[in-house]
Amino acid sequence: MIRLYGSPRSSAGRCYLVLEELGLPYEVMSLDMMGKREHKSEAYLKLNPNGKVPCLSDGDFVIWESMAITWYLADKYRPALLGATPEMRGLVQQWSYWAITELQPPMVDMLIQLFFTPEDKRDHGAIAKAKDRVPPRLAILDNALRGNSYLVGETLTVADLNVASVVNIAGGLGLTLDGLPHLTAWFEKIKARPSFQVFIAKRQ
């Protein structure tokens, strides 16, 4: 049985998305991260020594880091989602790493300021700086999707799911995809997938 630790509203979200896309049964392991801080408990640290979510177990096998988890799930249960050639698999990794190291950090900076920092303590300079860093990165995606249905090749790969899980954060921050027609069309297509709809519903 696959067990997943972490809320769909956290970095674990993309793991839910890929599990749903694969149609795999899985058990959500509840962790009280606020009150009891169970993600720092001795038992949980044995699974993920970082004390962070997500963490996934599949039988006796344990893995953490959300992008590694989505790669593992695709590799084990539907390798076609990783791309057909070494070049395609390289690009799937490129977009997945890019999403988590380039696109996500300014959005997380904004998220922390806007949703987890009391209004009187917010660093408006930091918010503005982070906000300025997002549009050029979304433009890179828009450009890559010009004339392409998916990020890598002609069919869905795990790169589309990983990147969409990050693009999805933009809406909640008041960042729009206006003026980015290729990105918008791609995102609408990914959002229409049953897996994405379940992912969104779980995040409510």
Ligand X SMILES: N[C@@H](CCC(=O)N[C@@H](CS)C(=O)NCC(=O)O)C(=O)O
54: preceding bond cis by omega (within 30 degrees): yes
At residue 153, what is the residue type?
A: G
Q: For ligand X, which is the closer residue by CB, 64 or 145?
A: 64
53 belongs to the binding site for ligand X (CB under 6 A): yes
Q: Which stretch binds ligand X (CB under 6 A): 23-31, 46-54, 80-88, 184-192?
A: 46-54
* Kind of pairing between the strands at 2-5 and 55-58: antiparallel
Q: Nearest to ligand X by Cβ — which residue?
A: 52
DSSP letter string, 63-108: EESHHHHHHHHHHHH-GGGG-SSHHHHHHHHHHHHHIIIIIHHHHH
135 belongs to the binding site for ligand X (CB under 6 A): no
- Give the residue among 97, 115, 126, 108 at the shortest CA–CA distance from 169: 108
Q: For ligand X, which is the closer residue by CB, 100 or 103?
A: 100
Separation between Cα atoms, residue 64 and residue 135, nearest integer Å = 30
Q: Which residues lie across from 55 on neighbouring strands?
A: 5, 64
* Kind of pairing between the strands at 2-5 and 26-29: parallel
With CB under 6 A as the rule, give the number of residues binding ligand X. 10
Binding to ligand X (CB under 6 A) within 25-44 occurs at 39
**Contact mark string toward ligand X, 151..180, x via CB under 6 A:** ------------------------------
Q: Which stretch binds ligand X (CB under 6 A): 51-59, 90-98, 153-161, 182-190?
A: 51-59
CB of 85 to ligand X, least distance (A): 26
- At residue 56, what are phi and psi to the nearest 5 degrees? -130, 140
Q: Which of 2, 21, 52, 127 binds ligand X (CB under 6 A)?
A: 52
Q: Which stretch binds ligand X (CB under 6 A): 45-53, 135-143, 175-183, 194-202?
A: 45-53
Contact residues toward ligand X (CB under 6 A) are 10-11, 39, 51-54, 65-66, 100
